[in-house]
């Protein structure tokens, strides 16, 4: 099954307590969107709006994980994962968006999932918000409104009260940058707004929600080794060429893509490079906000996929930036440059400049055009590029550890192919192939490689 690829990397080279896992998100895998009291999220509404997603697809069924979670945990065990990162669907737990009604059937699902994981020696890492805001809250303004931060604390309280005795890792938010910018400025994601003021307000409120929820979560997480943190998107930025324009733009793109959230979190300020008269007046700042946002976390989660090589701005209002595409580089099916060294560079920089505590890579992976082949021995998917991608990035993670970064874990994105937001089923990132018509999960060659690696067999 395995390719004869030698990546000269083995699990033995990592610290014994390094956590190896895979990640998913509720709306991308669960399906069962209208059962047991769940109400629509902004992603249900967005994906059912014509023209918003690839071929008008939605997450109504996705990986049917809500019903097949036991099969999925068995798959994780077969792969040899130590940990599984998943997210909680807010409208499944709080159908009214806030505490008024707590939907016990929704909470029961996560309770059973956590127990199933622990029974299989897999540690749960739970993301409280991975983009699926209840639509009822969106109708009141969603993340543009400060009140949403209180409702998020209610969600955090209800979930951590129920699961806090068993969950090892709590992640407040997944990639607030994407929620704010892609959801409110470029409009490619739910709720599909295209207003820079909306984006800045949403970003600030997301960060505030994170800070406000921290003490709530800490009060309820009773597992002795439990920790709480946040997951940020990240990209390694270098100028696309030697021009002054590209160099200046690279600095700005780094400020916007990386520092916009790192600085408030770890320095209690917005980046000084953002033009005062442009950015700050849009921030719905109240006294004390930055102190709340910069409350200490136990760990930082970073998602890393690619390098960004800005050349020039095409349209700033939609944040469209032209990038260099070095011909010698490799690219994934989404045109993302494969650049493992960017991961070690970023980890070193974040450690040096922002956070000296534990860091986890909470997502890393690649989409390729996988083909399912039926053979006499059974179904197979040959995906040597993804194996190379994973091995090289795991190698970059090891470099960072050797250079002194306290990196504590790595989560591959993703367990199996799933509803890739606006790209629907058109971007396959899984360690296992999801055959949508039959819902079969078929471990790809890369999944077999990861599994062999985890079992110390490569
Ligand atoms: C990240 C998201 C995750 C998935 C991957 C490919 O930005 O957190 O849900 O879409 O990208």
CA distances from 27 to 48, 93, 145 (A): 13, 13, 23
Give the Å distance between the CA of 192 and the centre of ligand 1.
17
Q: What is the pLDDT of residue 6?
A: 61
Q: Which two tokens stand for residue 336?
A: 């993302």
Look at residue 2 and tell me if it is in a domain: no
- Mean pLDDT in the chain? 97
* 3-state SS, residue 249: helix
**Residue percentage of the chain with pLDDT more than 70:** 99
Is the distance from the beta carbon of residue 24 to the nearest atom of ligand 1 less than 6 Å? no
| Residues of the chain by 3-state class (helix, strand, coil), percent to 5 | 40, 20, 40
Is the distance from the beta carbon of residue 422 to the nearest atom of ligand 1 less than 6 Å? no
Of 421, 428, 429, the one to substitute when testing ligand 1's pocket (max ligand atoms within 8 A of C-beta) is: 421
Q: What is the pLDDT of residue 265?
A: 98
Give the confidence band of 193 by pLDDT, cuts at 50, 70, 90.
very high
Query: At residue 2, does pLDDT exceed 70?
Result: no
pLDDT tens digits for 288-311? 999 999 999 999 999 999 999 999
Give the Å distance between the CA of 176 and the centre of ligand 1.
12
363 among known catalytic residues: yes
Among 193, 337, 363, 385, the one annotated catalytic? 363
Q: Which two tokens stand for residue 36?
A: 């047991």
pLDDT tens digits for 201-213? 999 999 999 999 9
Q: What is the pLDDT of residue 5?
A: 59
pLDDT tens digits for 235-244? 999 999 999 9
Is the distance from the beta carbon of residue 29 to the nearest atom of ligand 1 less than 6 Å? no
Query: At residue 319, does pLDDT exceed 90?
Result: no
Q: What is the pLDDT of residue 239?
A: 98
Domain that holds residue 180: 11-454
pLDDT tens digits for 130-172? 999 999 999 999 999 999 999 999 999 999 999 999 999 999 9
Dump the DSSP string for 317-370: GGTEEEE---TTS-B-TT--B--HHHHHHHHHHHHHHT--S-EEEEE-------
pLDDT tens digits for 427-456? 999 999 999 999 999 999 999 999 999 998
* 3-state SS, residue 300: strand
Q: Which atom of ligand 1 is nearest to the CA of 178?
A: 7
Query: At residue 217, does pLDDT exceed 50?
Result: yes
Contact 150, 97 (CB under 8 A): no
Contact 392, 6 (CB under 8 A): no
Among 30, 175, 263, 345, the one annotated catalytic? 175
pLDDT tens digits for 113-135? 999 999 999 999 999 999 999 99
Look at residue 60 and tell me if it is in a domain: yes
Q: What is the pLDDT of residue 327?
A: 98
150 among known catalytic residues: no
Q: What is the pLDDT of residue 457?
A: 82
Neighbours of 358 (CB within 10 A): 18
How far apart (Å, rounded) are the C-alpha atoms in residues 307 and 44? 31
Number of domains in the chain: 1
Look at residue 100 and tell me if it is in a domain: yes
**Distant-in-sequence, close-in-space partners of 224: CB < 8 Å, separation ≥ 6:** none
Look at residue 4 and tell me if it is in a domain: no
Q: What is the pLDDT of residue 191?
A: 99
CATH of the domain at 98: 3.20.20.80
């Amino acid at each position: 099954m395995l390719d004869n690829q030698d990546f000269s990397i083995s699990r033995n080279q990592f610290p014994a307590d390094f956590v190896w896992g895979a990640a998913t998100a509720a709306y991308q895998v669960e399906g069962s969107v209208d059962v047991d009291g769940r109400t629509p999220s902004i992603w249900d509404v967005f994906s059912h709006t014509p023209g918003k997603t690839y071929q008008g697809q939605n997450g109504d069924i996705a990986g049917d994980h809500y019903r097949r979670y036991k099969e999925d945990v068995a798959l994780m065990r077969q792969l040899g994962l130590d940990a599984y990162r998943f997210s909680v669907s807010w409208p499944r737990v709080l159908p009214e968006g806030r505490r008024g009604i707590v939907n016990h059937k929704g909470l029961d699902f996560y309770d059973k999932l956590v127990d199933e994981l622990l029974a299989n020696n897999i540690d749960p890492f739970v993301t409280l918000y991975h983009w699926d805001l209840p639509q009822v809250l969106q109708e009141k303004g969603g993340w543009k409104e400060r009140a949403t931060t209180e409702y998020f604390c209610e969600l955090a309280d209800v979930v951590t009260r129920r699961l806090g005795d068993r969950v090892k890792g709590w992640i407040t938010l997944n990639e607030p940058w994407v929620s704010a910018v892609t959801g409110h400025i470029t409009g490619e994601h739910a709720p599909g707004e295209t207003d820079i003021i909306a984006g800045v307000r949403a970003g600030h409120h997301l960060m505030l929600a994170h800070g406000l929820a921290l003490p709530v979560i800490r009060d309820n997480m009773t597992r002795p080794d439990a920790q709480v943190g946040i997951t940020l998107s990240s990209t390694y930025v270098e100028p696309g060429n030697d021009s002054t324009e590209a160099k200046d733009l690279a600095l700005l793109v780094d400020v916007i893509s990386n520092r916009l959230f790192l600085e408030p979190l770890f320095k209690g300020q917005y980046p000084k490079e953002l033009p005062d008269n442009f950015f700050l007046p849009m921030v719905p700042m109240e006294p004390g906000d930055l102190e709340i946002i910069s409350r200490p976390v136990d760990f930082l989660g970073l998602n890393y996929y690619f390098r960004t090589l800005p050349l020039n701005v095409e349209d700033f209002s939609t944040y469209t930036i032209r990038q260099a595409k070095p011909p010698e580089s490799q690219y994934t099916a989404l045109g993302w440059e494969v650049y493992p060294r960017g991961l070690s560079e970023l980890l070193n920089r974040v450690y040096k400049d922002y956070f000296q505590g534990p860091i986890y890579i909470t997502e890393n992976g690649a989409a390729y055009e996988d083909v399912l082949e039926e053979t006499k021995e059974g179904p197979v998917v040959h995906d040597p590029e993804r194996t190379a991608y994973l091995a090289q990035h795991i190698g970059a993670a090891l470099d960072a550890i050797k250079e002194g970064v306290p990196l504590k874990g790595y989560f591959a994105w993703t367990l199996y192919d799933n509803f890739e937001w606006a790209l629907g089923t058109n971007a396959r990132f899984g360690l296992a192939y999801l055959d949508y018509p039959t819902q079969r999960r078929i471990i790809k060659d890369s999944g077999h490689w990861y599994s062999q690696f985890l079992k110390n067999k490569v």
